[in-house]
Structure 1
């Protein structure tokens, strides 16, 4: 595939609501075709490099909680510029030290083709050592959320799960997820743009800020 994203910072190449560019690549679990993941959620994330301290802690936590993503019908897929040989050696080290096996695919992207197509790196970069980008892709292949972290700050795995929960909850209910929303909390009703409904609201704020019924919000 050809990268067509303009030069810019990570996440600048694609926006929420865009279709995730398809690709085929080699991975630690065999050949991967992004289109084959349609029908389920997918979290695609890049890590700066194998055998680095922050990335290792991320993969350990993701391996520990991989079943929680699976319960939400969400697959995990990682990417870096390292070769498959490097990936395999790193995963063996993680297994031997932490007694955890990383079973989700890790793609190799030595030519940065995928990274550039996703805006993880610009066309002027020679490696991806500065990106820690995450894409939440829905069952229709649409990018629904993105995060970007610097190389020296690791991602929050609980926040990845919370974001996924919130996206699935608003899709199922048609409601909105407020700040700090967790499963079991109330969602919010979408704003009404009907003037009669606005004037008929119980108070001056309930037309735009109203909690949904708990049964619908769960």
Structure 2
């Protein structure tokens, strides 16, 4: 029996509370960018310690914030009032509490590859909204480097040169990346090898 090949990536992002200002802007931004995530074969799912009823009511605020009144949120939100999932995944912010004194979920982002393995985790403080340009940039890098023997240098974005991974010999690099260039450094070691990201 052959199994179905899974090509989808997953993005799980938690937020501290429904009906709060920073969280509303963040989920609104993800709503606006849902087509960009879909283009990258990324399935989105949010999580907080609020209940289903709050998620349903608050999602109307989120959609209103981005000018989509009457439409549904384009991704689900996991309700985790017992904190079981958030605790197991390390998504609890011990410094932030709800009105009853219970800790809430933090601003975490997990990117999971088609192999069901964690590829990226980022944790933001409750007072700082996430940068979804950066999250999409990292997904682009993860997807490129999953297919090619390259790494992406500082501030890389699609279309900029990538770098040949150090594990490839000069002969392998020349064969696999005929247009790569070696940047000279005082040590004389040819490890700075740039190539188009194709």
Fold in common (TM above 0.5)? yes
Alpha-carbon spacing, 1:42–1:183, altered in 2? closer, same or farther (3 Å): same
Task: Give yes or no for the alignment of 1:132 onto 2:111.
Answer: no
Q: Give the counterpart of 1:114 among 76, 85, 93.
A: 85
Task: Give yes or no for the alignment of 1:173 onto 2:148.
Answer: yes
Alpha-carbon spacing, 1:192–1:207, altered in 2? closer, same or farther (3 Å): farther
Could you tell me how far apart the structure 1 residues matched to 2:160 and 2:170 are? 29
Contact 1:135 1:147 in 2 (8 A): yes
Structure 2 unmatched ranges of 5 or more: 1-5, 173-181
Q: How many residues align?
A: 174
SS at match of 1:50: coil
Can you list the C-alpha shifts for 1:43-70, whole angstroms capped at 9, x where unaligned?
1010000000000000111111100000
Higher relative contact order (CA 8 A, sep 6+): 1
Structure number with larger C-alpha Rg: 2
CA-based RMSD:
2.6
Alpha-carbon spacing, 1:81–1:206, altered in 2? closer, same or farther (3 Å): same
Could you tell me how far apart the structure 2 residues matched to 1:52 and 1:45 are? 16
Contact 2:91 2:108 in 1 (8 A): yes
Task: Give yes or no for the alignment of 1:187 onto 2:162.
Answer: yes
Could you tell me how far apart the structure 2 residues matched to 1:47 and 1:160 are? 15
